[in-house]
Amino acid sequence: MAATEKQWYVGEDGCISVGVSASAVTYHSALNSIIVSTKEPSVKIYDVASGALLQKSDLSANTTDAIHAMYLPGKDKVVFADDQSVGARNDLRGMLLLDTALQTPVSRSEDQVKVEIPLAEAGQFHKALMNAELPGIDHVDEVCKELEKKIDAVQEATKGHLKAAKWATICLKLPFSTLKTVCTGLVNEMKRLSMNNPGLSVASSIGDRLNYLLPNNGEGWSNTVERSMMYSEVARQKTFRTWPHMNYKWALPDPMSQAGFYHQPNSMGDDRAMCFTCNVCLVCWEPTDEPWSEHERHSPTCPFVKGEYTQNVPLAVTYGSQPAKRHGENEEKIECLSTTATENFVATSTLNGNIVVWSVDKILKKYCQFNLDPSSPVIALKTGVQIERQSTGSPSVSESVNGVNSVQDETDARLEERPEKVENGSSPEGSEEQPTATTSSTVSPDTVYELPQEKVDKSDVQKTRNRTM
């Protein structure tokens, strides 16, 4: 019988020694590799075809317990969790940025942060810094020295190991303000001199990562269109919430933002779209207009259209490098990381029944948080597992695995309900994206777009394109 996608089969019987006590194994089908969680804590990535160790990392986990790891095939995403935090990683050109997967944002600009970049990009960043003249920009030497030290160490460690070299990354550990000052200074200087080389893209992507690592410094832009942030495809995508042409064939939010456009209407129903780098401004989009073609037709010299290196930070880079988020503010441990009834959400739970539902469709986001009583008879009725509450107030789980599953099942059940029905629930982060629909498997929050209140009367609009450079 031929194997279908849902069936497991043994292609070749074999065994890989991981050397330490393993707590869980996850298969990453897109990378054809296995992710082994160990109790150190660390994860090890093995190439399935050769058995070669591709990378080992502690993920910046804070605890001494094992790390949870779960691959979501439909999203091509790995979700990690330690005792306190949850992180998500899409692959970045065939590799995962593991060393920062569980790094959470900092609260002060003087705090030390880690920025992880592939080895090749580290070389490009170093070259750009060495070639640039940055008078008046502090800390350039400090960043250059850190780069040189890390590049040398990684090159030495991966010498002669071709597969491991492909996964080689360097992890800069410096104060947030140091990296931010140097990256901003370098990007501004390269833009001023129109130096469209790889160093510009790398410096820009590091700057973008830093915005997420000090949230008040960047994640709060979502309700206003700040042109200076539009180099990020994620930021451009968010501007299209009131795009008036959701029924068009090509000129839709995702293709538009991928083609460099962001939406900046002057009035409700306005379809004014601008490029993040060349300043072309297009209005009166037609149903069959294709974003890339229109961009090229109206701005053929745009460096982004010409395929040159720009400040652009694609979705894949943001999704592959985003920081982790904390389950809650107290020290209660995450006991369970689970899938839910839909692919767009995962859930984490503590033993006391504090549950967070995470949206993993795009940027990892806390969707809702609520409490349930794991010793409640309602849960026992549903799962057949009775959890007794001890005098300390903590639940006693006689069958720990089943106990965790009972929480997980209840979470799935809650996902069928409207968010306002959850008990003791807190508001999801980023209320601007709060869905109004139920989170059933047929309705995705991020596919619900707000349609304009008024439709544009095309007869009143001049049928020509405005172009400003």
Nearer to Zn ion, 124 or 299 (CB): 299
Write down the least CB distance from residue 132 to Zn ion, Å: 24
Q: How far apart are CA 67 and CA 44, in angstroms?
A: 11
| DSSP E strands, 39-168 | 42-47, 53-57, 68-72, 77-81, 85-90, 112-118
Q: Contact positions toward Zn ion, by CB under 5 A?
A: 275, 278, 299, 302, 304
Category of 19 on φ-ψ map: left (φ > 0), alpha (ψ -120 to 50) or beta = left
183 contacts 206 by C-beta, under 8 angstroms:
yes
Nearer to Zn ion, 440 or 466 (CB): 466
Q: How far apart are CA 124 and CA 151, in angstroms?
A: 11
125 contacts 206 by C-beta, under 8 angstroms:
yes
Write down the least CB distance from residue 261 to Zn ion, Å: 8
Q: Give kind and range of the element (H or E) at residue 382.
A: helix 377-383
Nearer to Zn ion, 296 or 409 (CB): 296
Question: Hey, which residues does 368 pair with through a beta bridge?
Answer: 357
Nearer to Zn ion, 200 or 302 (CB): 302
Write down the least CB distance from residue 286 to Zn ion, Å: 19
Write down the least CB distance from residue 295 to Zn ion, Å: 6
Between the alpha carbon of residue 165 and those of residues 156, 158, 237, 240, the distances in Å are 10, 5, 34, 39
Nearer to Zn ion, 273 or 302 (CB): 302
Give me the phi and psi of 355, to 5 degrees please: -120, 135
Write down the least CB distance from residue 237 to Zn ion, Å: 17
Q: What angle do CA 88, 90, 93 make, to 5 degrees?
A: 150
Write down the least CB distance from residue 199 to Zn ion, Å: 20
Write down the least CB distance from residue 92 to Zn ion, Å: 25
Which residue, 204, 403, 410, 421, is CA-closest to 318?
Answer: 204
| Long-range pairs, 380-388, Cβ under 8 A, ≥24 | 380/406, 382/406, 382/409, 382/410, 382/413, 383/409
Which residue, 319, 313, 125, 321, is CA-closest to 231?
Answer: 313
Between the alpha carbon of residue 299 and those of residues 76, 280, 284, 303, 468, the distances in Å are 35, 7, 16, 9, 10
Nearer to Zn ion, 93 or 467 (CB): 467
Nearer to Zn ion, 129 or 278 (CB): 278
Q: How far apart are CA 385 and CA 405, in angstroms?
A: 9
Q: How far apart are CA 111 and CA 98, in angstroms?
A: 21
Write down the least CB distance from residue 274 to Zn ion, Å: 9
Nearer to Zn ion, 47 or 271 (CB): 271
Helix axes 198-213, 119-131, angle to 10 degrees: 110
Write down the least CB distance from residue 283 to Zn ion, Å: 15
Identity at 113, one-letter amino acid code: V
Write down the least CB distance from residue 37 to Zn ion, Å: 44
Identity at 437, one-letter amino acid code: A
Write down the least CB distance from residue 258 to Zn ion, Å: 13
Nearer to Zn ion, 310 or 406 (CB): 310
Give me the phi and psi of 292, to 5 degrees please: -65, -45
465: which 2 tokens? 């394109």
Nearer to Zn ion, 138 or 254 (CB): 254
Q: Give kind and range of the element (H or E) at residue 293.
A: helix 291-298
95 contacts 320 by C-beta, under 8 angstroms:
no
Write down the least CB distance from residue 299 to Zn ion, Å: 5
Nearer to Zn ion, 84 or 310 (CB): 310
Nearer to Zn ion, 95 or 278 (CB): 278
DSSP 195: -
Identity at 303, one-letter amino acid code: P
